[in-house]
Structure 1
């Protein structure tokens, strides 16, 4: 084969132009879809899936029917999404939720799989092995879908942390469970006993976790020594360490997904330089991975095939939403004393997203016979129940009274002086019902070194003085030393709940 041989050229410049044209148009439409999703209350995943369906075999006719390619690209996208999730998650926000989230990601997964499998077998007369396989495929939740419709509904740190940690932890055991079940069904003669598979799963998860923690810590130390580099190269290096953790763990046959998430979580909490650049770069790659993933899955689906699965998808989805998820939450979280209101919200907030659809390709690629319909079932279930659950999430949160009156969030600001000073900027909203309204700035009694630097009121902005009275609807920009961020956030939450007497009265 020579470079000048036309037959050897599988891809030329004219094709490159068409691919770049189509790809850039898809990205522009996908970015515009975010605005539509924000106004409609629907997760962007549905819009991206719709774009994929429009481009696919029964739409514009772009051919894409390789489950093997979809699985490989899907895993690549999931690695980037998990790394982005780890880098942007603060340990302080999930620390109190780690144990409950681990219970949801293990015991809760097993409960959900069992309930769905029983329902499929008893109601739809599905083979036991296939029923268990579908139950495992549907066991993973997607926090990205939840938070895309909850941006305007602030949740308590414990609740949001539980959702974040669960989504970060549960992908790894679910992927292993689906793969094990698929291989058991496809090659029963070579199947290992269940107790051996269980021990192997524990070993792989433990090994992946240790590898991820080690690579994250060592990589963070290395990046601290390289901090004088440009922010762009630094961000690329940090993301590469997360991907390295996945590759290293998978190479030695441990869980790459748990490794990359934990490595990124360690990196994101090591107070590295260029934090805002790293966060912005990670979020951009995460968005790109999500867009590409959902558009690809939409192209893989056949509208005629998924429509046939609507009745079965509704039955399985109702079992998952009304029985399996609530029961898994109840069994997993009751020992931790989680209030029933929070358990009810977590039951409704168990949205399914990309992971189940990607995992639905695993049985096909492992040669499980007669399961081509499973992808269509899972795809249709995700679409229907996202349409049912997502728009109601803000209403459910308010009805269950699990919202936080005011929430301090980090503002993504590219500011070298702030980094050099070790300072961070917070945005605090004075929402209706918050007792911050009516409080004067000096009455906040923020930690020494933290200051309200700017108030945004209606269309005006001004620098407050000590006697500026806060009003409902105000947005505050607060500059605080990095070491005092948690104390500053805690003080705002306390005043929001109890007013100016927070800290003086013994009952608040």
Structure 2
């Protein structure tokens, strides 16, 4: 009993310290996942903690379960509309992109480590795929808003490239341990089986879970447990059948998350905490497996491996995959840079250890070092690189807090909190006056807090700077309301106006009329097009928010797209007059 209590105390203490240290991680600009790894290493046998942990099978189990939960949470938060923008490029990155990375990196590893070609390719296969845990976490907590094309490509790639990485690792291990049992046809059959079963099981399983959510009435906290347990069943069953459980559970989450129901809000709130717990537990456990002295011993070669991956193999693989999709050079560079490695390479590196593959200890240490370098260098620069490369768009006007209230199976209301900004349109107004504008309808004020106290909602109350206002509104009112509460700026353009342009034009307006009004030069075949058609024709790809088309000294910028991906707002930026 005493040993069980000691184990629980140690695990709880590690998690507690890691969470508290997250404030330091934020101040230093370091990824929280890196902190969990470092805490695990310090708690290990060679650190102050002195914990001896070498149970590879337990570590593998924890890693697989945690990755499954993280992928489920990622699928729940991914909108199907992003697949219209990035499915094709992400799919190629998740397949050929992994193969290209492994071939390039494998050749370098064979030369660098002077090992058998199979060992070099196995090492490359272990670190060849991006990590869903790292990508989802760092992109969604980076503090910047990426354009949809870049964000969707990175997230879908990381959620779908695990089958290819697992296949390559399995094939290379078989080639090392039983060379005669591996041929091209068996590899292709295994690849097809992984993707096909993962696709079918994930889609059907997600549909079943969606039907259950719409029919069952449970306690709020049980909805997330239902989804998590159902997702893990899909994951395990798909793996047992020889398919990709990781792909299946990601797709199951995608199906459930895009079929909104009365339980959606409860599921997302609880799953957020479960995903963080999974990430923390997984990285702490994996950190316990490695000894710092081993990292120091192989540091020069590991740094060379990580550098070649970040600056040569990943960029060349990305260029070979995306050159046909007309990504801008800035987007290609950013996608290349955010090829984050995380828990997946470490979990894959455990396979050779369990199977006693030659040089397996070296493979594990180098993979661990590559992950550390990736999180430290690439992970810490995710927001800086996004701003430097110009792939960010201004943050949407959003409420401070938002609670979705289901009043029926097909009807919802939003309870939203806003703060009155200085010189905003809302300042000096009675709360009910907000409903009298053309853009804002069906809104009711539930409460006004001033200095932490409720303000009586009588006819004399007016909103003041700093007031917290709670409003009940139908779906779709969040952004118009946020614009009414946003602080005004008298001396310069707002961030949105500076990015999108001072004027908004109708995308259905004929481009020829706009050209005539501003003296713009268009090609003859463009004058009969609408502005929406003109933008799409010049871009030559699916338009997303933030895409720009330059006409003489003027710029047309996509301000917003609807749920079908069609342009419904366009900004016009005029040249500055000196």
Scaled by the length of structure 2, the TM-score of the pair is 0.74
Instruction: Kindly indicate whether the alpha-carbon contact (under 8 Å) linking 1:186 and 1:368 is maintained by their aligned counterparts in 2.
Output: yes
Structure number, greater radius of gyration: 2
Q: What whole-Å deviation, never above 9, does each CA across 1:344-365 have from its counterpart, x for those lacking one?
A: 1111111111111111111122
Q: Of residues 167, 176, 200 in structure 2, which corresponds to 1:185?
A: 176
Residues 408 and 427 in structure 1, CA contact (< 8 A), matched pair in contact too: no
Whether the aligned pair in 1 keeps the contact of 2:417 and 2:469 (CA below 8 Å) is yes
Equivalent of residue 266 in structure 1, options 255, 265, 276: 255
Distance in structure 1 (CA, Å) of the matches to 2:256 and 2:149 = 22
Which stretch shifts more, 87-96 or 390-399? 87-96
User: Given the alignment of the two structures, is residue 202 of structure 1 paired with residue 192 of structure 2, yes or no?
Assistant: yes
* Aligned 1:65-464 pairs, distance under 5 A: 65-146=54-135, 147-148=137-138, 150-191=141-182, 193-226=183-216, 228-407=217-396, 413=402, 416=405, 421-424=411-414, 446=439
Q: 1:499 to 1:365 in 2, by over 3 A?
A: same
CA pair 495-451 structure 1, distance change in 2 beyond 3 A: farther
Shift of 1:391: 2.6
**Consecutive unaligned residues in structure 2, runs of 5 or more:** 427-433, 485-494, 510-555, 557-570, 572-578
Shift of the 278–412 alpha-carbon distance from structure 1 to 2, 3 Å rule, reads: farther
Question: For the Cα contact (< 8 Å) 1:153–1:394, is it kept in 2?
Answer: yes
Residue by residue over 1:419-477, the C-alpha shift from the partner in whole angstroms, topping out at 9 and shown as x without a partner, is: 8751346789999xxxxx988889996476579999999999999xxxx99x9x99998
Give me the whole-angstrom Cα distance separating, in 1, the residues matched to 2:83 and 2:452: 35
What per-residue deviation string (whole Å, max 9, x for no partner) do you get for residues 262-283 of structure 1?
A: 0111011110223222112111
Tell me how far apart the structure 1 counterparts of residues 184 and 44 of structure 2 sit (CA, whole Å).
Answer: 40
Structure 2 CA distance, aligned partners of 1:478 and 1:497?
Answer: 29
Q: Which has the higher contact order (CA 8 A, sep 6+)?
A: 1
| Aligned positions of 1:462-473 closer than 5 A | none
2:54 is equivalent to residue 54 of structure 1: no
Deviation at 1:418, TM superposition (A): 6.9
Aligned residues: 485
- Any residues of structure 2 matched to 1:23-38 within 5 Å, and which? 23-38=11-26
Instruction: Tell me, in whole angstroms, the C-alpha distance in 2 between the residues paired with 1:51 and 1:344.
Output: 32
Post-superposition offset of 1:129: 0.6
Cα distance in structure 2, aligned partners of 1:457 and 1:43: 36
Which structure has greater helix proportion? 1
1:429 and 1:352 map into 2 onto residues whose CA distance is 39
Q: In terms of mean alpha carbon deviation, does 420-429 or 73-82 score higher?
A: 420-429
Residue-by-residue CA offset, 1:314-334 (whole Å, 9 max, x unaligned): 111111111111111111112
Unmatched 5+ residue regions in structure 1? 1-12, 432-436
In structure 2, do the counterparts of structure 1 residues 278 and 331 end up closer, same or farther at CA, with 3 Å as the change threshold?
Answer: same
Residue 501 of structure 1 deviates from its aligned partner by 3.3
Distance change (3 Å), C-alpha of 1:211 and 1:25 = same
| Residue pair 1:212, 1:263 contacting (<8 A) in 2 also | yes
Structure 1 residue 109: deviation in Å? 0.7
| Residue of structure 1 in register with 2:567 after alignment | none
Task: Pick closer, same or farther for the CA change 1:417–1:201 going to 2, 3 Å.
Answer: closer
In structure 2, the CA distance between the partners of 1:330 and 1:158, relative to structure 1 (3 Å rule), is same
CA RMSD, aligned part only?
3.8
